[in-house]
Structure 1
Amino acid sequence: MPLPAGFQPRAAVAYATVVALEVAAAVDAGPSLRAEIEAAAVLAEELVVEWGPDAARESEAKRLALTLDDTVAVVAGAELTAPVAYRWKTQLNENSKLHAFASELPELDHNEVVGWRAARDYGRFAAVFLDDVDTHPRTRARIKLTTELIGADAEEVEVVRSRGSSRTDRVISLVLLGDLLSLYLAVLRGADPVEIDVLHALKARLAEL
């Protein structure tokens, strides 16, 4: 199953994900999710209208960008949303040219939560928690308690909830929201989301070793 050429890896996540899922189904390594994927594509188109460039300033993606502008985002996920939190982090790094970090519950409640006490000593840190309807009730309780505990130390605290019915819907909704957020932050900063010169320079230097 060939992938379209000319995309940077971060821009080809949808293509790569669909191909991986189709291959898994073809070799009986997993169930066919084709119907879910097609439904998620429809949802994504609807969300692009709701969150995209022509959406109102108050739309979720633009509101988040304005809220997180001039902060260092620490994005936390749990269970289904944990890998999406890492995707948000890397998109903010590459597209927005910003420092950002990813964490996972419940682990962050065993260590990282203590570090928030010093957050304001070092800069403007914002906490973003990615929530999902199927998140375990105890984990959701952790999200609520953690936001309360770090609220005075974080510049901003946001809880972002997935959209859609199926797990595929909900993952895609959060991935799309994070991608749009990273592009809007790039616009606010006057950054080129495509440019990754430092990565090319690093690869060139490594090739010389």
Structure 2
Amino acid sequence: MKQLVEGFIQQLQHATEIGEKATVNFAPKKYSNIVIAGMGGSGIGGNLIQAYVSDKIEMPLVVNKGYDIPAFVGPDTLFIASSFSGNTEETLSGIREALAKGATLACVTSGGEVLRLSKENNFPHIIIPGDSEQPRACLGYSVVEMLYLLHYAGVLNVTFKTELAQTIALLEEQQSSMKVEASALANAFKGKLPILYAGVQFEPIAVRFQQQINENSKQLSHVNTFPEMNHNEIVGWLHPEPLFEMITVLYIRSAYDHERIRLRMDVSKKIFESKAGKVLEVQAQGSTFLEQAFSLIHIFDWVTVYLAELNNVSPNTIENINYVKGELAKV
């Protein structure tokens, strides 16, 4: 896992090359809505794209994480399925339903049944490298190729390409300082319950961080967003009191946060400081959304690798996930 995190910049570069060289043809069409289907790392990639395009496209885009797809899916839907292995059962179920409803399908995968269906039905698709045994470390491939599919479908303009290039340059420039920041955060999380708070637009980054803490560091974490948490969770900071000293709160801040969200975070911080063991902050770097999102993702991936070392666990193993899959396969 450490080598995969180290190679994240190269992954983004390679993903861009794949996207540029992809031979993808969409029939000219005006879509009414977009659905991205995926689970785990592929699913969170969809959420990241959803946040990125929220102010760039005029049609609704939803992320589907389950077996069934929304009732509105039909001939005017662009349905993008992302599955690293190509055998994710929930995503395959969605593909078959979307196909039956006449949607335009496109896929990102390394192989498996998704690739077979794509070739059999002539879906536009982009193939990503499948040699990694850690799909969650391949977020760069899934996000970048989905951006290219949206572009080739005529939904997204070319601006994202410039932002990707700027993102890669930023990561190259700040790699060393990111590792230092990540090491400090890992030490702050050791033996604690990390509670991650972000503005709503950066929820995918916070959830991704939580997932990586779970899978890489074998540790529990919790996520919520502003302003929503101000309408419910904030009241819960009364009990259980013995837990509070075990909590490290991390604020994930961005220049993209709405001014009222920044104010809410400032006001709420006083409550957390009076309760939690520690309250820390991290500020997203860069001027564009992709720069800020990917820089945070890279820092947080390093945190989880360092935290795995502190927890004396392997960041590669996912025994409980394999157990669940094995039991499901028996039915």
TM (normalized to structure 2)? 0.59
Shift of 1:68: 1.7
CA distance in 2, matches of 1:71, 1:112: 19
Shift of 1:46: 2.2
Aligned residue type for 1:4: P
CA distance in 1, matches of 2:167, 2:270: 33
Q: 2:177 is matched with which residue? A: 50
CA distance in 1, matches of 2:184, 2:241: 23
Question: Of the candidates 126, 142, 148, which is equivalent to residue 22 of structure 1?
Answer: 148
| Secondary structure at the counterpart of residue 217 of structure 2 | coil
Question: Is 1:101 equivalent to 2:222 in the alignment?
Answer: yes
| Secondary structure at the counterpart of residue 275 of structure 2 | coil
Question: Is 1:110 equivalent to 2:231 in the alignment?
Answer: yes
Q: 1:2 is matched with which residue? A: 127
Give yes or no for contact 1:77–1:83 (8 Å, CA) kept in 2.
Answer: no
CA distance in 2, matches of 1:137, 1:181: 28
Shift of 1:71: 0.6
Shift of 1:193: 0.4
Identity %: 27
Structure 2 residue runs without a partner (length 5+): 1-125
Mark the structure with the bigger radius of gyration.
2
Shift of 1:89: 0.5
Q: 2:297 is matched with which residue? A: 175
Relative to 1, partners in 2 of residues 1:159 and 1:119: Cα closer, same or farther, differing over 3 Å? farther
TM (normalized to structure 1)? 0.92
Describe the superposition over 1:7-61 as per-residue Cα deviations: whole angstroms up to 9, x where unpaired. 3221000111110101111111222211111110121122222223xxxxxx211
Structure 1 residue runs without a partner (length 5+): 53-58
CA distance in 2, matches of 1:134, 1:88: 19
CA distance in 2, matches of 1:120, 1:72: 14
Alignment of 1:1-209 (within 5 A): 1-7=126-132, 8-32=134-158, 33-52=160-179, 59-122=180-243, 124-209=246-331
Q: Higher relative contact order by CA 8 Å / sep ≥ 6: 1 or 2?
A: 1
CA distance in 2, matches of 1:181, 1:152: 26
Aligned residue type for 1:51: M
Shift of 1:119: 4.7
CA distance in 2, matches of 1:204, 1:157: 40
Describe the superposition over 1:101-142 as per-residue Cα deviations: whole angstroms up to 9, x where unpaired. 111111111111122222542361121111101211110011
CA distance in 2, matches of 1:10, 1:46: 24
Moved over 3 A (4+): none
Relative to 1, partners in 2 of residues 1:150 and 1:44: Cα closer, same or farther, differing over 3 Å? same
Aligned residue type for 2:213: L
CA distance in 2, matches of 1:50, 1:190: 24
Relative to 1, partners in 2 of residues 1:145 and 1:119: Cα closer, same or farther, differing over 3 Å? farther
CA distance in 1, matches of 2:214, 2:166: 30
Relative to 1, partners in 2 of residues 1:77 and 1:200: Cα closer, same or farther, differing over 3 Å? same
Would you say how many aligned residue pairs link Structure 1 and Structure 2?
203
